[in-house]
Amino acid sequence: MSDDSARRDEADQHRVDPDHTQEVDLSQTQQFGPPPGQAPLLPPQEPDRSSQWAHGPTGQDAPEHHAPQGWSTSEQPAYAPSVPYTPNPHAASSPSAAAARPRRSGPGWLGVFLIAGLAALLAGLGGGLLGGWLGSSDRFDGLDLASSGSNGSTPKPGAGATSRPEGSVANIAAKAIPSVVTIRVEAAGGDGTGSGWVLDDKGHIVTNNHVVSSAANGGKITVVLTNGKQTAAKIVGRDVSYDLAVLKVERTDLRPLPIGDSNDVVVGDPVIAVGAPLGLDSTVTTGIVSALNRPVTPGDANDQSFINAIQTDAAINPGNSGGPLLDMQGRVIGINSAIARVAGNAIGGQSGNIGVGFAIPSAQVRITVDQLIRTGKAEHPIIGVLLDREYQGEGIRIASDTGQTPAVTPNGPAAKAGLKPGDVITAFEGRPMVDPDALVVAIRSKAVGSTVTLTVMRDGKERDVKMVLQGRSD
């Protein structure tokens, strides 16, 4: 793998099939918009401003907010009863019928006063005994939310959790939504919103680095639960290269989402995306896995991420970043992180869903999140080579020595395996390599210390070489 200078070379724009001329680049799916407390960002009514979405850190202004005509948050539609009212068949239908019923005699006024007095006496005795029991026991303390580390009620699964079949989209969504949060960021570089999900019962929340990076050196991060409760969060650790971050809230009563194994996912598997696109919390969309091991490098040269992504056609929009991509068992198999857009179609660099979204595989999430919680930073596996990005032939060529920096790092994994400047890497773990970024993300999808196999061509001959990946923290 290349070092920092090679890794941060300007990424080439991704293009569609050579038969087409439309350029495609990648947009991270953080939604920048109004500061907390304002209404969710909605498209303006005026056509000439419909695509001017706010990009806080870039300094662009947000459009004015307009609610759709005729909408009011206080209005509720009136519904007619679904079953017509049917009179009681035993009710009197005429005066004669009423007269025919026998008269019932009551206890009289004296009886009423005696019964009322006795009831009051019993109520007073019972209340005194109950109050004394509560005051002398610790059972009431268990209801004190502040003393339990919670600052509000915990979101509960929706009705679909019990009224819809197990394994259905509605059932999975109802169970998962309470564990998915909206993340609001206020920082000098701009305000924004994104998504996240509950990792464990210790208050850890997983999201994308690009969602919270503007608040890393001073800012406010707020986690909003699906029931509207808000709680402050702090950054435990974050990593630019993997575009992952872990937050911590002072709550231990949130329900974690189970994590699945992205290595078991195949193209065509149905998936469910949950998050807060455009600030619209608890949004659920569905689709399939469109492709696997898609090399994606969103961000600029100084803030670039390398993702060995799961591609999906589930609708992902700005604001979905950091939210989970679930399988049909309700397990997290990826973190929604980026979307493709047709270049030039969006003012300000953001666009909506076009059916090409990308998620960080859960296999990578497990490794990196564990490191971030333990040490606050992540290790990146390397092979210790500089790559020639000008090379246009088959495979990926190791650069030539420049005299200042050796193309093959001495005592690095590649050097120990016998690789030399000018060698061409044609496959990684049996998978053909045709682009330097594809090799970088493939290497970074492995754990430090893993043994990997590269297919290398030298002087027209191919051979397989094994090497043990070393780690480095940027």
Angle at 446 between CA 442 and CA 451, to 5 degrees: 105
Dist. CA 119–CA 124, nearest whole Å: 9
- CB neighbours of residue 96 within 10 Å: 8
Q: Quick check: 469 and 30 in contact, CB under 8 A?
A: no
Catalytic residues: 210, 243, 321
Q: CA torsion 28→32→37→40, rounded to 10°? A: -80
Distances from the Cα of 102 to the Cα of 93, 97, 99, angstroms: 16, 11, 8
Tokens standing for residue 190: 């701009």
Query: Is residue 144 helix, strand or coil?
Result: coil
Query: Is residue 156 helix, strand or coil?
Result: coil
Give the count of alpha carbons within 13 A of 440, CB side only. 25
Residue found by looking up tokens 């307009």 in the block: 66
Dist. CA 383–CA 469, nearest whole Å: 6
Dist. CA 362–CA 296, nearest whole Å: 16
Tokens standing for residue 227: 């029931």
Dist. CA 394–CA 427, nearest whole Å: 10
Phi/psi for 103 (5° steps) reads -80, 140
Burial of 274-306, coded b for 16+ CB within 10 Å and e otherwise, reads bbbbbbbbbbbbbbebbebebbbbbbeeeebbb
- C-alpha torsion sign, points 344, 345, 351, 355: negative
Tokens standing for residue 146: 């502040």
Dist. CA 429–CA 427, nearest whole Å: 6
Tokens standing for residue 68: 């759709």
